Amino acid sequence: MENYDAKVDAYIAKSADFAKPILTHLRQLVHIAQPGIQEGLKWGFPFFDYKGPVCQMASFKQHMGFGFWKASLLSDPYKLINAGDEAAAGSFGRITSLADLPADDILIAYIKEAVKLNQDGVKVARAKPATEKKELVAPPEFEVMLDGLANAKLNFHKFSPSKQREYIEWFVEAKTETTRQNRMEQAVEWISEGKSRHWKYQS
């Protein structure tokens, strides 16, 4: 199967029994919506990329989630996308059965719109560097990464505000989208290990 990754097969195989048919179904819909889409694992979860990240899915012990990388930019004509605190469970909330998913044609429409955002080069707005010590907001992509990794999320929220700010400023100051993405990926790895932004220079 072209553009199918054996690592995703393995991920589904070792997921909880309730999640296997849901993961398989979502995977099929993504490939139907966009032939040629690339799949693989990022931060331990299946991701689907087409000219950039499109969507991802994650399985846990009692529920699973499916989310769009640029969920905040989707038009959401059916008003199904979760926002705020609920977004931590994925774009459609906690999923425990196929019945929790929107209809196939609706899901495909969302996936196609998410792909088109990448095709059109639409970017998630970056926070402007602060000239004063104002509260900085973490990029939505970074929040998605943390939501998928409980240990990293716990460690990040245990950090003092200043240590959190060091990471967020590092992302905001990136000159390009690629640099920012690389920094966030590195940050998630360090945070999972309980390391602060400048851990290399600490005794």
Examine the pLDDT at 22 and tell me if it is beyond 80: yes
Q: How many CB atoms lie within 10 A of CB 162?
A: 10
* Model confidence pLDDT, tens digit, residues 129-166: 555 555 677 888 888 888 777 778 888 888 888 888 89
Give me the domains of the chain, ranges plus CATH numbers: 6-119 (3.90.1150.200), 140-201 (no CATH)
Q: Contact 73/124 with Cβ under 8 angstroms? A: yes
Assessment of whether the complete model's pTM goes beyond 0.95: no
Residue with tokens 């560097």: 129
Tens of pLDDT, residues 50-108 = 999 999 998 888 889 899 989 889 999 999 987 654 455 578 988 999 999 999 999 99
